[in-house]
């Protein structure tokens, strides 16, 4: 059984990996990945601001949050 810290770290890393796989570091003006895991409930919030790109920042943030949840699911399998 993973610890709460392992869950949070796994989720945050997965979310950041998605964001940085879609944008170059220099394109990102701001990124915020917030992950909490309390009483068995995972909450992931991702914000990305990359105004000089053609990518849909909101979609990338949503994809990152989904990847975070998937990575945590894999921890418990």
Domain assignments of the chain as residue spans, ordered by start: 4-75
> In sequence order, which residues have a C-beta less than 8 Å from that of residue 13 and are 6 or more positions away?
71
Here the tokens at position 24 are 């170059």
pLDDT in tens, 45-69: 999 999 989 889 999 999 999 999 9
| Position 77 pLDDT exceeds 90 | no
Here the tokens at position 19 are 């964001």
Cβ atoms of 49 and 31 within 8 Å: the answer is: yes
pLDDT in tens, 25-35: 999 999 999 99
Here the tokens at position 3 are 């610890």
The pTM assigned to this predicted structure is: 0.93
**CATH class entry, domain 4-75:** alpha beta
What was the pLDDT predicted at 11?
98
* Nearest Cα to Cα of residue 49 among 29, 23, 63: 29
């Amino acid at each position: 059984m993973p610890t709460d810290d392992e869950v949070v770290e796994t989720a945050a890393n997965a979310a950041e990996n998605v964001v940085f796989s879609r944008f170059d570091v220099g394109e990102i003006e701001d990124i915020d990945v917030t992950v909490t895991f309390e009483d068995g409930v995972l909450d992931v919030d991702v914000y990305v601001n990359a105004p000089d790109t053609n990518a849909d920042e909101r979609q990338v943030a949503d994809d990152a949050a989904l990847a975070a949840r998937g990575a945590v699911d894999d921890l418990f399998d």
